[in-house]
Amino acid sequence: MSTKNPFDPAAMSDNVKEQAQQIWLAGLGAFAKAQQDGTKAFEKLVSDGITMQRKVHTTAEEKLAEATQKAQQAAHTLSERATGQWGKLEGIFEERVAKAMHGLGVPSAAELQALHARVAALEAQLGMKPKAATKTAAKPATKTAAKKAPAKKTVKK
């Protein structure tokens, strides 16, 4: 009977060679698997990156549109406030000018309009035609100037 002795150096050498060969083949198999899975993993990462880029781009566009809308609303609100403040300032200015003119005895536009209406009504009652304001104002000024400048007499020696 021939039995193999596990402690036989020749048998051990063959066994070690066979195990080394299997380790080598397992390493090559793992490398091939990693290479194959690595390519798939790389392609998956590229695909995920494209998807993420699209999401980021869409989100950025939405945020930009939202920011633009808020800026336009803020500008509109500011414009309305400025217009309102300008209107208030204008009203105060007009009121103060009217008070100053009233203090100087200058009639207001409403008072002048009422006066014109009264004159027109009186002219209508008298059957007169309305005269131009420039002609009426020019005649008395000429007569007044003539009255104020008396003729000088010359005295002979």
Longest CA pairwise span in the chain (Å) = 190
- The structure's pTM equals 0.36
**pLDDT at res. 119:** 92
Q: Cβ(72)–Cβ(66) under 8 Å?
A: no
Residue 72: per-residue pLDDT? 92
- The dihedrals phi and psi of 10, each to the nearest 5 degrees, come to -70, -40
What whole-number distance in Å separates Cα of residue 137 and Cα of residue 17? Answer: 135
Question: Is the CA virtual torsion 4, 7, 12, 16 positive or negative?
Answer: positive
Taking the C-alpha atoms of residue 60 and residue 58, their distance in angstroms, rounded to an integer, is 5
- Tracing tokens 């406030």 back to the chain, one arrives at 81
Rounded average pLDDT per 10-residue block, the chain, 157 residues: 60 82 87 82 86 92 92 89 83 88 87 92 83 50 48 53
CB 71 within 8 A of CB 63: no
Residue 141's pLDDT is 47
